Amino acid sequence: MNRGALVTFTGTTPNIGTTVSAFAAACRIAEYSGQPVGYLCLNLKSAKLHRYVRVERPELSLDRMRPELKAGTLSPERLKAAAFRPAGMTNLFICFGNLLRDQAEFYEPEEIGHLLDAAREAFRLTIADVSAYWDNAATIAAMLAADSRVVITTTALSHFQEDGQRWFGLARTLFGIDPGDCDVVIISTPWRNGGFSVKDVHRETGLRPLGKMQITESLLAALDNGALLDWLRADDTGRKAMDEPARQLMNRHGLRFGRGITQQPWYRRLLAHRNGVS
For residue 94, pLDDT over 70 is answered with: yes
Between 205 and 9, the more confident residue is: 9
For residue 278, pLDDT over 50 is answered with: no
- What is the rounded distance in angstroms from the CA atom of residue 221 to the CA atom of residue 202? 30
For residue 5, pLDDT over 70 is answered with: yes
Contact 226, 54 (CB under 8 A): yes
pLDDT of res. 272: 60
For residue 65, pLDDT over 70 is answered with: yes
Contact 23, 41 (CB under 8 A): no
| CATH code for the part of the protein at 5-274 | 3.40.50.300
For residue 1, pLDDT over 80 is answered with: no
pLDDT of res. 273: 54
Kindly report, residue by residue over 174-226, the tens digit of the pLDDT: 889 988 999 999 998 776 655 788 898 999 899 999 999 999 999 999 999 99
Beta bridge partners of 94: 39, 84
Range with the poorest average pLDDT among 56-60, 73-77, 260-264: 260-264
Contact 40, 130 (CB under 8 A): no
State the pTM of this model.
0.90
Please list, residue by residue across 74-96, b when 16 or more beta carbons sit within 10 angstroms of its beta carbon and e when fewer do. bebeebbebbbebeebebbbbbb
Kindly report, residue by residue over 109-154, the tens digit of the pLDDT: 999 999 999 999 999 999 999 988 888 999 999 999 999 999 999 9
Burial of 224 (0-12, 13-18, 19+ CB in 10 A): exposed
What single DSSP character describes residue 89?
-
For residue 33, pLDDT over 60 is answered with: yes
pLDDT of res. 196: 84
